[in-house]
Amino acid sequence: MSILFFYFIWKKFSELAVGYNKSKHNGWFGILVYVGGSLFVGLLLGVLNEIFGWGIDFENNAVIRFMDIPVGLLSCYILYLILDKKWKSEVVEIDSIDNIGNSTDEVN
């Protein structure tokens, strides 16, 4: 099931990157953030379990096992919004070929 998530996450991030004239290989950021976000929350939950003694059974608890899906998707969504905002601010629209070579202050 994770392979499907990886494919669709990679596809969405690749489409975002290509839309802003970036390399389509930026799609790997989404997969790394999905895995990294899940790993971070899992480690955090494990540390908190040891500190507070909650007694969570990590091996036989289906809720804990499937918790990585919403956490990973939320991590990807946050990165998607950040990249979209960042790349949108970097886009400079040039209306005419006469403006090539001018600074952005002169164009606007």
For the chain, the structural domain boundaries read 2-87
Long-range pairs of 13-22 with CB within 8 A, sequence gap ≥ 24: 13/76, 13/80, 13/83, 16/80, 16/83, 16/84, 16/87, 17/83, 17/87, 20/87, 20/88, 20/90, 20/91, 22/87
Are 95 and 49 spatial neighbours (Cβ–Cβ below 8 Å)? no
In whole angstroms, give the CA distance from residue 68 to residue 19.
Answer: 29
Q: What is the pLDDT of residues 26-68, one digit of tens each?
A: 889 999 999 999 999 989 999 999 999 988 888 887 887 788 8
What percentage of the chain reaches a pLDDT higher than 90? 51
CA angle at residue 73 from 67 to 76, to 5 degrees?
A: 140
Amino acid at 71: V
pTM of the model: 0.77
User: For 7-12, what is the mean pLDDT?
Assistant: 94
